[in-house]
């Protein structure tokens, strides 16, 4: 059992939000419409709203991405569970400034159901909405079934693209089109080395032998595609890059790369893997334009990492280069 710094198993999310709101009172506030909707202060007037959401336990995802050049509203679920439709609806109402709202969420059945229900309710109230469902995890369904795939760390770069595009005054359709382009051009895959644990119970959310790793594992410990003996950083990098480049043709392209730590994997290890990722990409004539290393979406103290690759054109390069000033992320 993992020791956790909590006060009460039933109040984990509420206590976390209390601390978040104290630490980031300049950026974020709790919606008066629903306590599980956290929204940005000082919304840019006339801007398209960006609303995201998902389960808790993945911090800094998702509340950490509220801010300038980031997102405007976040619906907060229980640990590893989708938010209900009501905080999504509240976030839409709070952030729609007459230009409509783009909703972005990962492809999980609960999120799809609850965001869709919120969309129905909000459209009845006259809100203009578009939706982007992120499904970047190549390990979760084969080619030809891309829309069945789960959303993982690619979501973070998708928020960045949408957030900056909206900040620059684009219309809802324009923000949707650019963001959906990025969504088509992004691929991720993860590797799990050690489980995280549920903060309420301290119990691990999957099991893995002491000398094993699992390629393709999801951010909640969803089964991957191959469980093998632990290999070197170089071999992990080769496997991750191969899976991604076998799935989408990045050859000759400039790309953004995110190497995301899942919780317990040190930044030291991420840098070691990253050097090999760059080499593997170079072998395939893929040029890294910009890279992001760190913990962007975690699974408590899960060990392992995920690699994300996003093909860039001039528009996406420009959007990725604009600095975003979000609650827990500045990139």
Distance, CA of 237 to CA of 1 (rounded, Å): 31
Is residue 68 a contact partner of residue 325, using CB atoms and an 8 Å limit? yes
Place of tokens 């229980």: 78
Stretch that binds a copy of itself, among 118-126, 157-165, 245-253, 293-301 (CB under 8 A): 293-301
Contact call for residue 276 and a copy of itself (CB under 8 A): yes
Among 31, 95, 205, 265, indicate the residue that binds a copy of itself (CB under 8 A). Answer: 265
Q: Which positions from 20 through 39 interact with a copy of itself, judged by CB under 8 A?
A: 20, 22-23
Q: Give yes or no: 24 in active site.
A: no
Q: Give yes or no: 220 in active site.
A: yes
For a copy of itself, the closer of residues 49 and 218 by Cβ is 218
Among 156, 264, 286, 316, indicate the residue that binds a copy of itself (CB under 8 A). Answer: 264
Helix, strand, coil distribution of the chain in percent, nearest 5: 35, 25, 35
- The catalytically annotated residue of 24, 44, 58, 194 is 58
User: Measured from the CB of residue 271, what is the shortest distance to a copy of itself in angstroms?
Assistant: 3
Contact call for residue 239 and a copy of itself (CB under 8 A): no
Residue 6 has which token pair?
Answer: 């909590």
For a copy of itself, the closer of residues 1 and 124 by Cβ is 1
For a copy of itself, the closer of residues 225 and 233 by Cβ is 233
Distance, CA of 79 to CA of 262 (rounded, Å): 15
**What is the sign of the dihedral through the CA atoms of 150, 155, 161 and 166?**
positive
Among 53, 54, 55, 64, indicate the residue that binds a copy of itself (CB under 8 A). Answer: 64
Looking at the DSSP bridge assignments, the partners of residue 331 are none
Contact call for residue 207 and a copy of itself (CB under 8 A): no
Q: Which positions from 186 through 205 interact with a copy of itself, judged by CB under 8 A?
A: 193-194, 199
In the shown chain, the binding pattern of residues 117 to 156 toward a copy of itself, with x for contact by CB under 8 A and - for none, equals: ----------------------------------------
Stretch that binds a copy of itself, among 27-35, 43-51, 55-63, 163-171 (CB under 8 A): 55-63
DSSP secondary structure string, 86-108? HHHHHHHHHH--SS-EEEEEES-
Separation in Å, CA 123 to CA 89, 92, 117, 120: 10, 10, 10, 5
Which residue blocks in 198-307 are alpha helix, DSSP H? Answer: 233-247, 267-283
For a copy of itself, the closer of residues 186 and 277 by Cβ is 277
Contact call for residue 113 and a copy of itself (CB under 8 A): no
Distance, CA of 179 to CA of 50 (rounded, Å): 11
Contact call for residue 227 and a copy of itself (CB under 8 A): no
Separation in Å, CA 310 to CA 26, 184, 249, 316, 322: 31, 9, 11, 9, 16
Residue 158 has which token pair?
Answer: 């998708």
Q: What backbone torsions phi and psi does residue 63 show, to the nearest 5 degrees? A: -60, -25
Q: Note the residues at the interface with a copy of itself (CB under 8 A).
A: 1-8, 12, 15-20, 22-23, 56-57, 59-60, 64, 193-194, 199, 210-211, 213, 230, 232-234, 236, 263-276, 278, 288, 291, 293-295, 298, 300-301, 303, 305, 328, 330-331
């Amino acid at each position: 059992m993992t020791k956790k710094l909590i006060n009460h198993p039933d109040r984990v999310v509420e206590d976390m939000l209390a601390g978040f709101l104290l630490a980031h009172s300049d950026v974020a506030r709790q919606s008066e419409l629903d306590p599980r909707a956290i929204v940005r202060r000082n919304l840019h007037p006339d801007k398209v709203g960006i609303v995201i959401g998902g389960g808790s336990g993945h911090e800094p995802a998702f509340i950490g991405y509220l801010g300038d050049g980031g997102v405007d509203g976040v619906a907060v679920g229980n640990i590893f569970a989708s938010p209900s439709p009501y905080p999504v609806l509240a976030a839409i109402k709070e952030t729609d400034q007459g230009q409509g709202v783009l909703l972005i969420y990962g492809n999980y059945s609960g999120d799809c159901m609850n965001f869709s229900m919120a969309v129905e309710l909000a459209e009845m109230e006259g809100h203009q909405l578009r939706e982007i469902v992120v499904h970047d995890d190549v390990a979760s369904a084969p080619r030809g079934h891309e829309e069945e795939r789960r959303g993982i760390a690619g979501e973070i770069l998708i928020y960045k693209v949408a957030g900056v595009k909206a900040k620059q005054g684009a219309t809802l359709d324009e923000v949707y089109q650019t963001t959906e382009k990025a969504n088509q051009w992004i691929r991720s895959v993860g590797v799990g080395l050690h489980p995280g644990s549920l903060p309420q119970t301290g119990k691990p959310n999957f099991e893995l032998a002491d000398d094993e790793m699992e390629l393709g594992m999801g951010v909640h410990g969803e089964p991957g595609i191959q469980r093998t003996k632990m290999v070197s950083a170089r071999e992990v990098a080769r496997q991750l890059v191969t899976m991604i480049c076998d799935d989408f043709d990045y050859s000759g392209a400039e790309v953004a790369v995110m190497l995301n730590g899942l919780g317990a994997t040190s930044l030291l290890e991420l840098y070691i893997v990253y050097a090999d990722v760059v080499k593997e990409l170079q072998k395939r004539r893929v040029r890294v334009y910009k890279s992001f290393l760190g913990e962007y979406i975690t699974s408590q103290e899960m060990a392992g990492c995920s690699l994300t690759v996003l093909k860039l054109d001039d528009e996406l390069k420009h959007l990725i280069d604009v600095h975003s000033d979000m609650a827990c992320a500045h990139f």
